[in-house]
Chains A and B, each alone.
Chain A
Amino acid sequence: MKIRKGDIHKIEDYLWEIPKSFRPKMRVPARVLASEPLLDDIMEDRSLVQLVNVASLPGIQGASLVMPDVHEGYGFPIGGVAATLYPDGAISPGGIGYDINCGVRLLTSNQKITDIRHRLEELSKEMYAQIPSGMGKGGQIRLSPQEMEDVLRTGAEWAVEKGYGKKDDLAFMESRGRLGNADPSLISEMAKKRGTDQLGTIGSGNHFVEVDYVEEIYDTTAAKAFGLSKGQVVVLIHTGSRGLGHQVATDYIRRIMAAMPHYGIEVPDRELACVPFNSEEGQNYFKAMCAAANYAWCNREVISWEARTAWKNIFGSDQSLKLMYDIAHNIAKVETHRVHGEEVGTIVHRKGATRAFGPGFEELPEVYRSVGQPVIIPGSMGTCSYVLVGTTKSQELTFGSCCHGAGRRLSRTAAKKQVNAPVLKEQLKEEGIFVEAGSFKGIAEEAPIAYKDVNMVVETVAISGIAKKVAKLRPVAVIKG
């Protein structure tokens, strides 16, 4: 299947549609949220073919959607949203991804960049020493079987109870860091084994811990509510459920693929394997996914504890880091949305997409409720990241979703060919960005050149109205696997 520009209809300046008539199996149109230059970029890989495939999922509502940071994935595109009808629409593990509840969190400090710039190198080394990163590296915590059950059931609460987290943090996490439907008995022994020593570890790939400062404030009201001010130093954490989540996804894609014929479901790509949400297989996956998501929230809370330890070691025991917000970008949630003028229950799959609810959302802590939900958009090392705030328009247009990052544009191989990592590390240091990484290969693969322009991505979501810009963050120290 080839998609040409002529197959795509412009709806608004930043919204494009491939109509349902494009292919017989499409149940809804496929929509792209992008500026025209970004759309041209998106057409370079197979993201749109994958988006069209998603539009054929049983029970899909409204449209299959991709955000401006989309890139080709495996089955589902990365940067996509698919909402299916609750309770018997499809649930697809591929629509969440292998890294269940991969997400980001932002911690704020009361330090100003001008006061600590001379200590950044020391801080980055201490962060690297405290936070285990890299391939196959275990953490400081080794969970007993009972502790594993508790982590999978209670998420970030476990870390708080054991002294690895702060009680006040819980209100500042999506779903308060715990999904109630989690059932640890549905997680395989292999998955539990893989997760035994990985709490508090960031892993590799595009995962990182970053020290940034607030370079610019765009929305003073929202920034004030979120506790952000110009020049303030903040810590950004990006990781997920590690090997445990990868194993859960692997286990259930296999089971769901085997179950599909029983429900008469055929999909154009095996990675779109799905079953009705309310089927036994669908419910088992959903409850296992919730447990893996809880592991991820616990992981990010433990990493915050490690970052806080590093922070105190450098700046003194009276200094700490406050959680601004923690948000998932690989997850499925049961949510109510308006489709063709009617409120319907949906299963919203976000794969490389962030929830972006507007003001009034009850789950939000009271201090954020009048402005909306924080949305954290990490860029690439050496560029910048953003804090946005969700809007009611996102609930009308994108099932309450927004982009999740800059989005890759170069393959890892191409990045390695084009980037001299030791030179890049020195260049970044000259620009005031200290990079601590497990390997030069990791630096090359994640170089800024490998990513789209995060500014363009964020401008697109801001102009389209699905989120508003609150603050721009500039990195000063990057810790990678």
Chain B
Amino acid sequence: MKIEYLPHTADIRMRIQGNGLEDLFRAGVLGMGNILKEGICDQEHIFDRKAEIEIVAADPTCLLIDFLSEVLSHSYTEKSVFCKVKFLGLSSVKGVAEIYGKKVDGFDEEIKAVTYHEAEVHNSGIGGLQTMVVFDI
């Protein structure tokens, strides 16, 4: 798993890589969590929040973006940052998962949305998958 933050004029551009689809989704959740609260997903936690997500989409790219959008919505309604994902099922068009997070007093960054802009899940060339994710800040 690899997460890189790249410049964007107004927003945040993140490149994620994973060994497979599950790993890529986990990288997305971790990368987003660390934007919401710097470094929070790099620490050991006893998670006190859990939510269930079920997403159906046309392709892996839409599935990833919709999945991250759903995690983001739960972050705001639960005032929590979600770092851990347990997949109950994941194909290229459907994802069912439990997400685990930690309640926070506030966020370091307010992400308005996870956008589809520049997102394209594709082979990384080193045996895994990668995509760009642009967040509207």
B103-114 CB mask vs A (1 if < 8 Å, else 0) is 010111110111
Instruction: Say whether B47 faces chain A, with CB atoms less than 8 Å apart.
Output: no
Chain A residue contacts of B115, Cβ below 8 A: 74-75, 98, 271
Chain A residue contacts of B43, Cβ below 8 A: none
Report yes or no: B110 in contact with A194, Cβ–Cβ below 8 A.
Answer: no
Instruction: Say whether B136 faces chain A, with CB atoms less than 8 Å apart.
Output: yes
Chain B residue contacts of A203, Cβ below 8 A: 110
Interface size class of A (residues with CB under 8 A): 35 or more
Contact of A258 among B9, B58, B107, B108 (CB under 8 A): B58
Complex Cα–Cα for A421 and B85 (A):
36
Report yes or no: B117 in contact with A99, Cβ–Cβ below 8 A.
Answer: no
Complex Cα–Cα for A89 and B113 (A):
26
Nearest-neighbour CB distance to chain B for A346, whole angstroms, equals 25
Q: Is the interface of A mostly helix, strand, loop or mixed?
A: mixed
Chain A residue contacts of B113, Cβ below 8 A: 98, 246, 249-250
A182-203 CB mask vs B (1 if < 8 Å, else 0) is 0000000010011000000001
Instruction: Say whether B54 faces chain A, with CB atoms less than 8 Å apart.
Output: no
Q: Is the interface of B mostly helix, strand, loop or mixed?
A: loop
Report yes or no: A411 in contact with B109, Cβ–Cβ below 8 A.
Answer: no
Chain B residue contacts of A45, Cβ below 8 A: 9
Complex Cα–Cα for A257 and B65 (A):
12
Given contacts A74-B136, A414-B7, contact A270 B108 (CB under 8 A): no
Report yes or no: A190 in contact with B77, Cβ–Cβ below 8 A.
Answer: yes
Report yes or no: B112 in contact with A194, Cβ–Cβ below 8 A.
Answer: no
Chain B residue contacts of A72, Cβ below 8 A: 8-10
Chain A residue contacts of B66, Cβ below 8 A: 254
Instruction: Say whether B88 faces chain A, with CB atoms less than 8 Å apart.
Output: no
**A residues with CB within 8 A of B:** 45, 71-75, 78, 97-99, 134-137, 190, 193-194, 203-205, 243, 246-247, 249-250, 253-254, 257-258, 269-271, 273, 408-414, 438-439, 441, 481
Shortest Cβ-Cβ A-B pairs, 7 listed: A74-B117, A135-B107, A270-B116, A411-B7, A74-B115, A98-B113, A98-B112
22 pairs, CB–CB < 8 Å, chain A vs chain B: A71-B10, A72-B8, A74-B116, A74-B117, A74-B136, A134-B106, A136-B76, A136-B107, A246-B113, A254-B62, A254-B69, A257-B116, A270-B62, A270-B116, A411-B7, A412-B10, A412-B11, A413-B5, A413-B7, A413-B12, A414-B7, A439-B108
